[in-house]
Amino acid sequence: MPSQNRPEILYNLFSSVSSLRGVGPRIGEKIEKLTGPFIIDLIWHFPSGILDRTYSPEIKDIEIGRVVTLTVNINSHRPSPKNKKRIPYKVFCSDKTGDISLVFFQSRKDYLQKILPVGEIRVVSGNVEVFDKQLQMTHPDIITTTSHIDEVKKIHPVYPLTDGISQNVLRRIINDSLQLTPEIPEWLDPALVNKKKWPSWNNAIRKTHSPINVKDLDPLNKARERLAYDELLARQISIQLVRGRNIKRKGLSIKANGNLRKKLTDQLSFELTNSQKRAIKEIVSDMASKKRMLRLLQGDVGSGKTIVALMSILDAIEFGKQAALMAPTEVLAHQHYSTIEPFLKKINITCAVLTGKDKGKSRKKILENIANGSTSLIIGTHALFQQEIVFCDLGIAVVDEQQRFGVHQRLLLANKGIAVDVLLMTATPIPRTLMLAFYGDLEESTLTEKPKGHNPVDTRLISLNRMEDVYKAIGRKLSIKAKIFWVCPLIEESKKLDISAATERHRKLKSIFGSNVGLIHGQMSQDEKLDIMSRFSISNTGNNNNSNALDLLVSTTVIEVGVDIPEASIMVIEHAERFGLSQLHQLRGRIGRDGQRSTCLLLYSNNLGETARSRLMILRKTNDGFLIAEEDLKIRGSGDLLGTQQSGFPEFKVANIEEHKHLLSIARDEAKLLIGKDPTLVSSRGNALKTLLYLFQCDDSIRLIQAG
């Protein structure tokens, strides 16, 4: 495991969060979910707001609407009457200028009497309101003694939270974590630090966690900028380490005669597009050269990337190598398997699928066959990165929907073989400058045309008011055996709500259309999901009357990426205005893959403004994913497009690709220079840089230089 050689100075930071005072198993588990298992993860959890508790007037001067910190005398308690728990418990307080009551609902008497003893003075902080002409503070945020007033009367950081942890608790825990951060030798170039006027790492961390105004939350202030640079530098160094090592173990050229490709071509019911032919040629010639391939295959949804990948894979197999194809989800991995395996079977090539869910004996068997070379193509999820997976002789690794994986993960896959060629695939256009910054040098192939017969999806906007009409239209389509996707609203704050909306819609549609209506969502087990997807893909044309078949599938956005049900020709998307345009485009790319006419109904909220409507209209007007991505960028800013889970580089803790773009090339150049001079990081600066890699948990690459 990567942790073995972690420098001693970081021991504290890599202790478990549950080693902190007051963090039991229950809170520990919540924190681990929110930030991660280690104290360092809490350090990287930055405030997103501030709360000013410095305003502490006398009672008579209180301005309503501001958070106040008061020093009050506790005069008396009035518990809720027995059997009338809905009437709140009140504690009457005063200072020499006036009265105020503290109000508690459903609170315990003994507890309140303990923290607010009659006759004593206490500091309370919270919001004040007027009720029945009286001042009151309902559930003060803070109650403490006067000796702690300085800790209260200040500006507090506000952290992103998760259910079940309060702001106060999280703040205290993070504060305790900060006490454990050591002074660490500087790893940055002093000249750069000077020029940028950056604080030391330790100071930057402290400053970030004690914002005193909103400027301190700005990703471009000195402290945050430094930390973002640290992260970018760590990433760049680790990429250089991985790539440096890969280049060293250089070059075998995979030269095949294309016999297997020809056999596959003979099986296809369609002709490859010119784009596809060109991309295959580019890839094959990369593979044949002595250089290791790192190529990105870009192409809009439905442009036919899979077949291009498969052709490249076949060359590797013909040459006697193994191939790996990696997908971001288990559903997708299985989907790839079920489309690819029948083709390969006909030409006697072995193929297996491996995901996290394969356990026990069957897993062992799969791993054995990978290790002894009897499986030629292995399809899987990120499970394929794991150390226990040993290939006999891997020649090419294909990463589908590459933006869903960490840069780092992607590069590590290449270490599974001696000279593995890597093909990355994406439907999300990524600006070239960013790609370069992330990968160093990278070749690109782009599929510019869609396969023939791929009719553009007829996209329509319909108000949610007209749901009854939509039901009728769907009923008509079901009666002529259409396969229909119904995507339910995305509710950002809560996965649970997503699911309940989908469940509700499923119930409703089932009551109208009967048992061939299915439901799929993210909280189902993989088995359930796979089962539902396979029932939805049962063909219902001809005389096929399988009672298991699903014709209408209600889903949350789990189907977004890559799922291919060629027969599906209709998609309904509820509350389309809540999605990004690119996301909607990806979604509708799921339908009409068989070349049949297809329709996408975008249902929008009744109170949709003109701008929002015209934004959706873009989807009506064009089917070009790159154009749509550009529009999306204009409207939402690339931060949204690239910086977040949706399609971006999710692995960053601090840096924000949009805000900190200006630092990327500096970090890249510096990393190159550093690794050029000290390729195994043994100098004293090199050692400091190792610490940096540990801090950002990019230390897998350190293992590489240690392994030699």
Nearer to Mg ion, 31 or 396 (CB): 396
Nearer to Mg ion, 489 or 562 (CB): 562
Nearest distance, CB of residue 587 and Mg ion, angstroms: 13
Q: Which is nearer to ligand ADP, 225 or 564 (CB)?
A: 564
CB-based burial label for 32 (10 Å; 0-12, 13-18, 19+): middle
Chain-centroid distance of CA 556 in Å reads: 16
To ligand ADP, the closest distance from the beta carbon of 685 in angstroms equals: 45
Toward ligand ADP, which CB reaches closer, 71 or 446? Answer: 446
User: Closer CB to Mg ion, residue 13 or residue 563?
Assistant: 563
Q: Give whichever of 95 and 624 is closer to ligand ADP, judged by the CB atom.
A: 624
DSSP string of 234-300?
A: HHHHHHHHHHHHHHHS--------SHHHHHHHHH-SSPPPHHHHHHHHHHHHHHHSSSPPEEEEEE-
Q: How far is the CB of 400 from Mg ion (least distance, A)?
A: 6
The site partner of 693 among ligand ADP, Mg ion, none (C-beta below 5 to 8 Å per kind) is none
3-state secondary structure at position 490: coil
Annotate each residue in 298-317 with x if it binds Mg ion (CB under 5 A) or - if it does not, as one string: --------------------
CB of 478 to ligand ADP, least distance (A): 23
Bridge partners, 701 (sequence order): none
In 89-193 the beta strands, taken as DSSP E runs, fall at 89-95, 98-104, 121-131, 134-138, 142-144, 155-158
Report the nearest approach of Mg ion to the CB of residue 566 (Å).
13
**Size of the chain, expressed as the number of residues it contains:** 708
**Identity of the amino acid at 72:** V
Name the residue among 331, 271, 338, 259 with its Cα closest to residue 304: 271
SS3 annotation, 591-644: CCCCCCCCEEEEEECCCCCHHHHHHHHHHHHCCCHHHHHHHHHHHHCHHHHHCC
Report the residue number, 256 or 327, with the smaller CB distance to ligand ADP: 327
Q: Which stretch binds Mg ion (CB under 5 A): 82-90, 168-176, 258-266, 555-563?
A: 555-563
CB 355, CB 329: distance < 8 Å: no
In whole angstroms, the minimum distance from the beta carbon of 621 to ligand ADP comes to: 21
Closer of 112 and 568 to Mg ion (Cβ): 568
Tell me how far apart the alpha carbons of residues 655 and 651 are, in angstroms, rounded to a whole number: 10
Nearer to ligand ADP, 14 or 343 (CB): 343
Q: Residue 686 binds which one of Mg ion, ligand ADP, none, with CB within 5 to 8 A depending on kind?
A: none
- HEC string of 558-595 equals HHCCCCCCCCEEEEEECCHHHCCHHHHHHHHCCCCCCC
643 binds Mg ion (CB under 5 A): no
Residue 181 contact partner, candidates Mg ion, ligand ADP, none, CB within 5 to 8 A by sort of partner: none
Q: Which is nearer to ligand ADP, 265 or 463 (CB)?
A: 265
Binding site residues, ligand ADP, CB under 6 A: 270, 272-273, 276, 299, 301-307, 427, 451-453, 562, 564, 566, 593
Which pair of tokens denotes residue 616? 């959706």
Q: To the nearest whole angstrom, how small is the minimum distance from the Cβ of residue 308 to ligand ADP?
A: 8
Q: Which helix (H) or strand (E) holds 109?
A: helix 109-115
Measured distance CA(135)–CA(177) in Å, rounded: 38
Give the binding range for Mg ion (CB under 5 A) out of 228-236, 291-299, 406-414, 554-562: 554-562
Give least dist CB 618 to Mg ion, A: 23
What DSSP state is assigned to residue 16? B
How many chain residues interact with Mg ion (CB under 5 A)?
A: 1
Rounded CA separation 291/422 (Å):
11
DSSP state of 188: S
Q: Which of residues 401-420 bind Mg ion (CB under 5 A)?
A: none
47 or 562, CB closer to Mg ion?
Answer: 562
Q: Could you list the beta-strand ranges (E) of 377-488.
A: 377-380, 394-399, 421-426, 443-447, 458-463, 483-487
How does DSSP classify residue 151? H
Annotate 549-573 with b (16+ C-beta within 10 A) or e (fewer). bbbbbbbbbbbbbbbbbbbbbbbbb
Residue number with CB closer to ligand ADP (284 or 340):
340
Q: Which residue is nearest to Mg ion (CB)?
A: 562
H/E stretch holding 673 reads helix 661-677
| Residue 559: CB minimum distance to Mg ion, A | 13
Closest contact distance (angstroms) between CB of 288 and ligand ADP is 23
Q: Which of the listed partners (Mg ion, ligand ADP, none) does 299 bind, with a CB threshold of 5 to 8 Å by partner kind? A: ligand ADP
Residues 556-575 that bind Mg ion (CB under 5 A): 562
Question: Inter-axis angle of helices 222-248 and 661-677, to 10 degrees?
Answer: 50
Q: Are 591 and 571 in contact (CB under 8 A)?
A: yes
Nearest distance from residue 306's CB to Mg ion, in Å? 5
CB of 642 to ligand ADP, least distance (A): 20
CB-based contacts of 408, cutoff 8 Å, min separation 6: 235, 238, 239, 242, 651, 698, 700, 701
| Residue 451 interaction partner, one of ligand ADP, Mg ion, none, beta carbon < 5-8 Å per kind | ligand ADP
Q: Which is nearer to Mg ion, 404 or 615 (CB)?
A: 404
Cβ pair 643, 637 in contact under 8 A: no
**Minimal distance, residue 420 CB to ligand ADP, in Å:** 22
**What sections of 180-220 are H helices per DSSP?**
190-196, 201-209
Residue 128 touches which member of Mg ion, ligand ADP, none, C-beta under 5-8 Å by kind: none
Nearest residue (CB) to ligand ADP, 184 versus 323: 323
User: Which residues 486-515 are close enough to bind Mg ion by CB under 5 A?
Assistant: none
Instruction: Count CB neighbours of 119 within 10 A.
Output: 8
CB of 640 to ligand ADP, least distance (A): 22
Report the interface residues with Mg ion, using CB under 5 A. Answer: 562
